[in-house]
Amino acid sequence: MAEIELARVESAAPVAPPQQAAAPVALFAQPWIARIEEHASWPLLSQMTVAMTAGIPLSGFKIGDLLRLEPGQIVESACPHTEDIPLKAGRMQVAWSEFEVVDQHLMVRLTRLA
């Protein structure tokens, strides 16, 4: 009885040597937050309200000092005026910012994302 060939595998394309093989590609090259709009819950998540804070630490500033504040009074901080201020959504820092006065209103401008 002759032996029966069960399968034959041949490659029509030349096989690259191991040193020329392409590096494996990561399935998710971007962090998940960069693809958040693709999440099934995005329509609901995008409508949620989040408290944003941009704050400068004031060392030695007491509640009594806060109660005695008057319009136009200046409070000194240890933070240099050239340094960006952390901007947080809840407890998570999301960006860096700076304060600016526009038409008698104090504004926060984003300078870079965290």
Place of tokens 């820092």: 93
The answer for residues whose C-beta is within 8 angstroms of residue 77's C-beta and 6 or more apart is 56, 57, 58, 59
What is the structure's pLDDT at 87?
A: 92
- In whole angstroms, give the CA distance from residue 58 to residue 19: 59
What is the structure's pLDDT at 36?
A: 80
Report residue 19 as tokens.
């040193």
What is the structure's pLDDT at 29?
A: 65
Question: What's the whole-number mean pLDDT along residues 39-62?
Answer: 87
- In whole angstroms, give the CA distance from residue 31 to residue 29: 7
pLDDT band at 57 (very low <50, low <70, confident <90, very high): confident
Kindly tell me if the per-residue pLDDT of 84 is higher than 70. Answer: yes
Question: What's the whole-number mean pLDDT along residues 78-103?
Answer: 88
Kindly tell me if the per-residue pLDDT of 41 is higher than 70. Answer: yes
What is the structure's pLDDT at 79?
A: 81
- Kindly report whether the global pTM for this prediction surpasses the value 0.85: no
> Edge-to-edge strands of the sheet including 52-54?
52-54, 85-89, 92-102, 105-113
∠ CA 97-49-88, rounded to 5°: 25
Kindly tell me if the per-residue pLDDT of 67 is higher than 50. Answer: yes
